[in-house]
Amino acid sequence: MSATTEPSGADRALLGALALSRGTVDKAAHRRQDDSWLQQKWADERTRVLAVNNSRAPARFVEGVPRLYLVSPMDVSSEVSRVFLGLEDGVAYFAVLTELLDLPADVEWADLRVVGAQLDDRDAGLMVTAVGLDHWHRAHPMCSRCGTATDLASAGWVRRCPHDGSEHYPRTDPAVIVLVRDEDDRALLGRQTRWEKGWFSTLAGFVEPGESAEDAVRREVEEESGVRVGEVVFLGSQPWPFPSSLMFGYHAWATDSSIEVDGTEIEEARWFSRDELAAACRDGSVSLPPAVSIARRLIERWYGDDLPGDWSRPIQIPR
C-alpha cells in the first residue's frame, strides 16, 4: 500500500476484545445512590468483595492461570473504603481499597499489568475498574476548590466536599497509541529513552486540550519520530488505569517516512518489515510489548498473526 492509498476494509477492521477492555458485570450505576439497597447487598452472604491496593489484587493461581480471590463482606473491616462495582446474575460485587486482608497461603497479591491478559472476562472487568478507582481515590483526597478533605459518595464513584458541597468525579485521561505504516507496509517502532536497549513499541501520547484524537496521533508521531502521517484509522480502545488513561488505538500511514527522533521521549525509531521484526525478535535484539497492552495487538494486527510470548519484554512495575 502506498502512503496515499485509502486503507482497505481489512485495514479498517477493529481489534476486537482487548485484554483490559473485557467484562461481564453490569455496573448498575442507577444503584449507586440507593443507600438502602447497597446496605442490603453488603449484608447479603452471596455478595463478593475484591480487595485492591496500588494496582494489585489477591489472586489464586490454578495450573498457572490466575483467578481473583473474592471474599465475603463479613471478612472485611467496616473501617475500609468500599466501592460498588456492579451486578451479575443477582450477585453484587464491591471493591475495598485496602491491603489489610488475611489471605490463605496459596493466594498472593498480583499486579494487573502482570495478570490482566490471563484473567477471564469477569475478573478482568472487575479488576480494571477497581484499580482505576483505587488510583483516583488515592490521588484526589482533597477538594480541588478549597482544599478540604472529601468524603466518598455515590457508592465510591464520587468524592464530595463537606465544606463547599462540590462533587468530584473519577478522572480519565485520553491518550493515543499508533502503529505507523509506510509505503512498503513496514511498521514504525520506537524505543523510549528510559527503556532498556532493544525494547521497542508503538508510539503514544496524550491528547491535548482543543485537539482531536486523530490530530494527536499526527502531532505525537511527528514530535517523537519526525515522521509525518496522513491517513489515520481507529481500531479500538482499552483502559490503562496506571493511573487513569484510556488508550485509543490506531493504524496510520506515513506521508514522509524520514526519521528524526526527538531524543527526549524517543531515543531510537526504526522501520521494520515483518521478516526483519521476526528475525530481530528471534535473535533477542528486539523485545516487544507484553500481551496485556494494546500496543501488542496493534503490532500483531499489522504482522498478521499472534506473536510468541518469548518475544515480549519484561513487564515494568513502577515502585
pLDDT at 1: 45
Residue 307 sits in the same domain as residue 176: yes
> Which residues sit opposite 61 in a β-bridge?
66
In the prediction, which pLDDT does 307 show? 95
Q: Do residues 139 and 180 share a domain?
A: no
Residue 239 within any structural domain of the chain: yes
| Backbone φ, ψ for residue 124 (5° rounding) | -60, -45
Whether 58 and 89 map to the same domain: the answer is: yes
Please enumerate in sequence order all residues whose Cβ is within 8 A of that of 82, keeping only pairs 6 or more positions apart, or say none. Answer: 42, 49, 76, 94, 95, 96, 97, 156
Quick one: what percent of the chain has pLDDT higher than 90? 91
319 pLDDT tier (thresholds 50, 70, 90): low
Q: Is the pTM above the cut of 0.85?
A: yes
Residue 292 lies in a domain: yes
Number of structural domains found in the chain = 2
DSSP one-letter code for 142: B
DSSP class per residue in 78-130: TTS-EEEEEEETTEEEEEEE-S-----TTEEEEEHHHHTTTS-HHHHHHHHHH
Domain that holds residue 291: 9-18+172-311
pLDDT in tens, 153-199: 999 999 999 999 999 999 999 999 999 999 999 999 999 999 999 99
Supply the pLDDT for residue 14.
86
Cell numbers standing for residue 265? 521521549
Domain annotation covers residue 23: no
At position 36, the amino acid (one-letter code) is: S
- Give the angle 28-32-36 at the CA atoms, nearest 5°: 110
For residue 152, tell me if it sits in a domain.
Answer: no
> Are residues 207 and 290 located together in one domain of the fold?
yes
Q: Is 168 helix (H, G, I), strand (E, B) or coil?
A: strand
Q: What is the CATH number of the domain that holds 234?
A: 3.90.79.10
Looking at the domain assignment, is residue 317 inside a domain? no
Q: How confident is the model over 76-114, as pLDDT tens digits?
A: 988 899 999 999 999 999 999 998 888 999 999 999 999
- What pLDDT, in 10s, does the model give residues 6-49? 677 777 778 988 999 999 999 999 999 999 999 999 999 999 99
Task: Answer for the pair 113, 313: CB distance below 8 angstroms, yes or no.
Answer: no
Please provide the average confidence, as pLDDT, over all residues in the chain.
Answer: 95
Q: Is residue 240 part of a domain?
A: yes
Residue 74 resides in a domain: yes
> Is residue 149 in some structural domain?
no
